[in-house]
Structure 1
Amino acid sequence: MVVSAGSDFLEFHDLSADVVTAVLERAGELGEAWREQRMPQSLEGRRVALIVDDGGWRNTTAFDLGIQAMGGICTHVPASLGGREAIADLAGYLDNWFDMIVVRTPELASLRELAANARAPVINARTRSNHPCETLGDLAYLRAKRGGINGLKIAGVAPDANILRSWVEASISLPIEVVQVYPDDWHVSDPALLNPNFRLSTDMRELEDADVIFTDSWPSGVAEGEVADYRISAEVLDRCRPDAVFIPCPPVVRSQEVTADAMTHAACQSTAAKAFLLHAQNALMEWIAARPELNASR
């Protein structure tokens, strides 16, 4: 099997806007199929390696479940990208047996090295630097709820970390506006991410006309007084648009980035949004599996 560049999903903007649109639309269709228990067997015969190198459970469980539901074979591989085996060697061994490799690992650089050496497509199931599948799932939910994503204003009340970075990656290739609302010390400064669809702010009033608001955990070791003004409460959400969608990123720490009453506010749609993580990942794998270069030798 010879695979050309472009089959990996390591950063959100690896996918063009047209591909994202198609994947999000398909995610909606697969969501319907899931609810009606009529999943297409579009991964039949595909052998997928699942490497979980740093804990977590939501999206890796969804990968395992989705692969099986669409007829594929999922094997949990107890390997590590920071282990004794050289990553280039590990890529070769995985290529012997697998058609696709899904990895949750701390370092994006290690994932890039794996993808550079593997023939099989590599999917980023989360790194400390980014979490593109999480953003893909949230966008699939927003498309299903609103009918489209073009022109959305998305406010991230979050530090420079993997959740925010994936939304910024999405703003590179999609017609959306992403604004980080947080103290200056935690603003994104990576020149590779700065783009015309992304901007920085310290003003919580940015939330009042946002279509979507998301959060992430407070920075490790921060004094509460430094970020307390950026805590999302029901009072904050009451000042926002009546149709605003609030998606706090799990695991949520009540009394830190959110209050308990924010989690029961009508705007909070985290549970419903995270259901689409399964559907979006399924649509992504289906799109990758259908690439002509992956089928040349099958």
Structure 2
Amino acid sequence: MAVSTVGDFLEFHDLSADAIAAILERAGALDEAWRKRRMPQSLEGLRVALIVDDGGWRNTTAFDLGIHAMGGICTHAPVSLGGREAIVDLAGYLDNWFDMVVVRTPQLGQLRELAAHARAPVINARTRSNHPCETLGDLAYVRAKRARIEDLKIVGVAPDANILRSWVEASISLPIEVVQVYPDDWHVGEPALLNPNFRQSTDMRELEDADVIFTDSWPSGVPEGELAGYRISAAILERCRPDAIFIPCPPVARGQEVTADAMTHPACQSTAAKAFLLHAQNALMEWIAARTGA
């Protein structure tokens, strides 16, 4: 098997704390450039394959828009990593034409296989196991608001699923504290993710001194009564720090993980935070291209 490219971004902790710091700082600069309509052409000539094998629209649309805004060429490739063509063959065919490959696909294992065989850097645009670009975008927003990310307490009221897992991945390489607050049955148990910067609780009072609070969808098929105590409302947000940043993950199910009044509370900054998906992903591509010769 070929060796994965040094510029791959498949799990958040693929990149060091220093690399993430540089990307987040650059995302802030690209936010300003975007607002002024003066985007640098630092991806000029970069040929990127965008593979959407698992629905969704936010971060893949941001990839497409960002690549073009920074001078690159983006082509939607109608490829499935679980299709008839072997992944090792797909890697070679994609390498014929593309300098970078961005993939949204269900299985992280298949994405790892593609990255292992492709010469081009591969970026994870979401799997069912993790969603590192989403976390990167949220962190870029938090840094823009707080001027730092070090020593922040980040609480996820979420089950063991892709959003939470990417925050846990981030805690492996970054100086942040991540706390999962949820019933025991949905706690993260994968040994590779457990680390000193991550802990678990069932106590919603953990939110009261959190710097950042995020949610994810309730698990399907679970009786409402089992999770009702983990629904975030405006009343809960009123007990939190006045500068707390609440980022419910879209799509938001009002009446399940959040109440309608939580979405209009001043702490809720989901729309503003998700704007930084574009800037963080642009900064990530720029960083990878500069260091790999893509």
Same fold (TM over 0.5): yes
* Counterpart-to-counterpart distance in 2, 1:119 and 1:276: 28
Q: Given the superposition, is the C-alpha separation of residues 5 and 120 from structure 1 closer, same or farther in structure 2, using an over 3 Å criterion?
A: closer
* 1:243 Cα deviation after fit: 0.5
Does 2:221 match 1:215? Answer: no
1:88-136 residue CA offsets vs partner (Å, 9 max, x unmatched): 0000000000000000000000000000000000000000000000000
How much is the aligned-residue C-alpha RMSD, in angstroms? 1.1
* 1:6 Cα deviation after fit: 1.9
* 1:294 Cα deviation after fit: 2.1
1:294 partner amino acid: G
2:16 corresponds in structure 1 to 16
* Counterpart-to-counterpart distance in 2, 1:7 and 1:154: 27
Residue 67 of structure 2: SS of its match in structure 1?
A: helix
2:46 corresponds in structure 1 to 46
Does 2:267 match 1:277? Answer: no
Runs of 4+ in 1 over 3 A off after TM superposition: 2-5
Does 2:139 match 1:133? Answer: no
* 1:5 Cα deviation after fit: 3.5
2:253 corresponds in structure 1 to 253
1:290 corresponds in structure 2 to 290
1:185 partner amino acid: D
Structure 1 contact 169–193 (Cα < 8 Å) conserved: yes
Residue 110 of structure 1: SS of its match in structure 2?
A: helix
Residue 163 of structure 1: SS of its match in structure 2?
A: helix
The alignment's TM-score, normalised by the length of structure 2, stands at 0.98
2:204 partner amino acid: M
* Counterpart-to-counterpart distance in 2, 1:3 and 1:61: 29
The alignment's TM-score, normalised by the length of structure 1, stands at 0.97
2:113 corresponds in structure 1 to 113
1:215-234 residue CA offsets vs partner (Å, 9 max, x unmatched): 00000111101111000000
**Identical-pair percentage:** 85
1:268 corresponds in structure 2 to 268
Structure 1 contact 3–121 (Cα < 8 Å) conserved: no
Structural mapping, 1:1-298, within 5 Å: 5-291=5-291, 293-294=292-293
* Counterpart-to-counterpart distance in 2, 1:6 and 1:25: 21
1:190-245 residue CA offsets vs partner (Å, 9 max, x unmatched): 00000000000000000000000000000011110111100000000000000000
2:269 partner amino acid: Q
Residue 123 of structure 2: SS of its match in structure 1?
A: strand
* Counterpart-to-counterpart distance in 2, 1:259 and 1:4: 43
Structure 2 contact 231–258 (Cα < 8 Å) conserved: yes
Aligned pair count? 293
* 1:4 Cα deviation after fit: 6.9
1:23-71 residue CA offsets vs partner (Å, 9 max, x unmatched): 0000000000000001000110010000000100000000000000000
Structure 1 contact 154–178 (Cα < 8 Å) conserved: yes
* Counterpart-to-counterpart distance in 1, 2:188 and 2:145: 29
